[in-house]
Amino acid sequence: MVKSINQEWIVTNGLGGYASSTVSGENTRRYHGLLVAALEPPTNRQVVVAKIEERVLFNDTYHDLSTNEYPGVKSPNGMQYLESFEASPFPLWNYKTADWELEKSIFMVQNSNTSLVNYCNKGTNAMILELHSLYSFTDFHSTFHENAVTDFYSEIEINSIKTYPKFRAKPIFTRWTKGDFLEARAWYKNIQLPLEKSRGLDDVADYYRIGYIHYELKPNESLTLLLSVDETIVDKDINSLLRAEKERLNGTNQNISNTFYKDLLQSGNQFIVNRKSTDSASIIAGYHWFSDWGRDTMIAMRGLTIATNNKSASESILATFFKYINQGMIPNRFPDNSEDEIEYNTIDASLWLFIAVYEYYQKFQDVAFVKAHLDSLKEIIDWHINGTRYDIHVTPEGFIYGGQDGVQLTWMDAIVNGKVITPRMGCPVEINALWYNALKIYSEFCTSLNVALEEKYTDIISRFESNFETFFINSEGTLNDVVIPNISTDASFRSNQIYCLSLPFTLLNEDQQKHIFEAIKAKLYTPYGLRTLEKDNPEFISMYQGSQWERDHAYHQGTVWPYIISEYYEVFFKLYGDSEENKRKVIAELLPLKNHFYNEQGLHCISEIFDGATPQEGKGTIQQAWSVAALIKLYTDYKLYEIDEL
């Protein structure tokens, strides 16, 4: 069902590149484009082709199918011709009047920065089709503007154009299967990007037209346009590329009968990419603007690759991060630009590595992999014991401490103009749950591999177990968020404590777990995920909106995060059983997220976050890896697809 410009679609190429816009055809973000190429996969992303202005000429009357917003006016308004839209298995539009009918579909060639746009005359009359490609040439975090340097010098031949956006730039290749090209250079200026305006950012862009394709499209006839920066693909047959992509998408997960689960798996596959610098798999944290982050990858891969039995991708991802261990830490983020240094400012990503490896081992029983990397796991633990970056070290109580002024280390990592919004300096509760699990997992691996466990590790485990209740369980019977033993306590009621219940090894008895779970349910649970802070806290911010300063202040101060929903229901099933009745209860409670997946913001996507007070509209990125992974993991681990009716 077509709603409005608020609905967005996205297709990806397995390299970090993508094509994305709104159903209406109006670009509302700087990140929208028909070809957003990852020049150093999966990073260095450039908006190369912004969109196509399509025009149907019938009986001497033009019908413009595109939509743009200019200052004070929306022109053209192609939504009036849009009969239907489908997001899966590929974006498919149907435009129609009483006299003509045109179908449009969009694909990306896998492992190539190449987009394909196919047009098919579905009516009974011939029509003249004009395709005006609008080019851009800018980093995808920026907006493109008319300038004297970018001249789009073009070598125009029959059915192809080779365009150099500026002197010595890599060329853009435009090819088409049918039609004449008419050169007609022009700037499309002052295009408004309303979602950028709502984010307090530059909200005006310019696009450039070299000319347009003109062709009389007969009934049942198709025309396909290829847009690429990949020189290896320019001589390949366009129709063959198109057929291969259609077959690939139509054949995906055909053995799965549950529609929602099948669609979730296809959606989740968009995040798995090839990293050129390491020749390995990685996971994009979210579209449109995130790259591959260590923390997000470790959490998301549990649903995206491990639960779904993708051993090769799981092994490749883990092996890559093992290679990049530095001072006992895996990268927090591989940067957007390859020339920038890798960031190691995270206290939890390295500990999440233990969880991912443990679940990998449980799933695949790959003893050789664990054995090959046991020394690396030991190295991580030893660096944490002896001390590493950002004053990360073990306290006398056996806890992990970390933090320095001006540095964000936990997943609650918002920072604006050097100010860390939720610094959480000290011993955060989920970090210590992860630390305890890392120690226990390493201990279990040593036992399985007949490796002697040094006494220092058992001593830390013993101290941790002896001191945890004293410092972390408060008078309410729930868990403090951050402690500095014998100095300070932050008792803010946050979602972080769920990990003390959901991770494989817990120190809490069943009664304690049920008490904490019920408190989380009462104070933090929403149908879209868990709040990051209870509403009664004076620091609670009800809505995620406004400028970057305002949004980042709200980011972890009550904002709802869907990805934590899998931890919540993991605990529910553990405490109350995974009977069919309880599975049906969970499926029913997930209906709002399912509706969001199919109908709101990114179609066949799950947003990064929702408002804290009354979550309804998705906020942040439209397609977040760990949000999708959370539902995939739940549906896979508990076979909810056998019960869900969709």
Same domain, yes or no: 504 and 397:
yes
**Selection from 451, 435, 421, 397 nearest residue 558 by Cα:** 421
Same domain, yes or no: 496 and 533:
yes
**What's the gap between Cα 389 and its chain centre?**
28
Q: Is residue 430 situated within a structural domain?
A: yes
Same domain, yes or no: 372 and 461:
yes
Please identify, among 250, 274, 290, the residue that sits at the C-terminal boundary of a domain. Answer: 250
Same domain, yes or no: 264 and 124:
no
Please identify, among 201, 218, 250, the residue that sits at the C-terminal boundary of a domain. Answer: 250
Query: What is the model's pLDDT at position 1?
Result: 39
Q: Is residue 1 situated within a structural domain?
A: no
Number of residues written out for the chain: 646
Same domain, yes or no: 15 and 83:
yes
Domain count, the chain: 2
Same domain, yes or no: 51 and 146:
yes
| Beta carbons within 10 angstroms of residue 323's beta carbon | 11
Q: Is residue 572 situated within a structural domain?
A: yes
Pull the structure tokens for residue 216.
């009389």
Q: Is residue 566 situated within a structural domain?
A: yes
**Selection from 56, 48, 53 nearest residue 25 by Cα:** 53
**Spatial distance between the Cα atoms of 187 and 160, rounded to a whole number of angstroms:** 21
**Spatial distance between the Cα atoms of 311 and 262, rounded to a whole number of angstroms:** 19
CATH of the domain at 632: 1.50.10.10
Give residue for tokens 């006299």: 99
Same domain, yes or no: 418 and 471:
yes
Q: Are 401 and 427 in contact (CB under 8 A)?
A: yes
Same domain, yes or no: 161 and 309:
no
Query: What is the model's pLDDT at position 308?
Result: 97
Same domain, yes or no: 545 and 505:
yes
Please identify, among 232, 250, 268, the residue that sits at the C-terminal boundary of a domain. Answer: 250
Same domain, yes or no: 146 and 171:
yes
Q: Are 531 and 539 in contact (CB under 8 A)?
A: no
Q: How many helices (H) and strands (E) does the chain have?
A: 16, 34
Return the bridge partners of 419, or none. Answer: 416
Residue range(s) defining the domain that contains residue 596: 259-642
Q: Is residue 441 situated within a structural domain?
A: yes
Report helix, strand or coil for 608: coil
Q: Are 394 and 384 in contact (CB under 8 A)?
A: yes
Q: Is residue 3 situated within a structural domain?
A: no
Query: What is the model's pLDDT at position 336?
Result: 67
Same domain, yes or no: 281 and 206:
no
Pull the structure tokens for residue 324.
């990049």
List, run by run, the mean pLDDT of 10-residue segments along the chain (646 residues): 76 98 97 97 96 98 97 93 95 97 98 98 98 97 96 96 95 98 98 94 97 98 98 93 94 87 97 92 97 96 98 97 96 77 93 98 98 98 97 98 93 89 96 98 98 97 98 98 97 98 98 98 98 97 93 96 98 98 98 97 98 96 98 98 88
Same domain, yes or no: 271 and 337:
yes
Amino acid sitting at position 64:
D
CATH of the domain at 136: 2.70.98
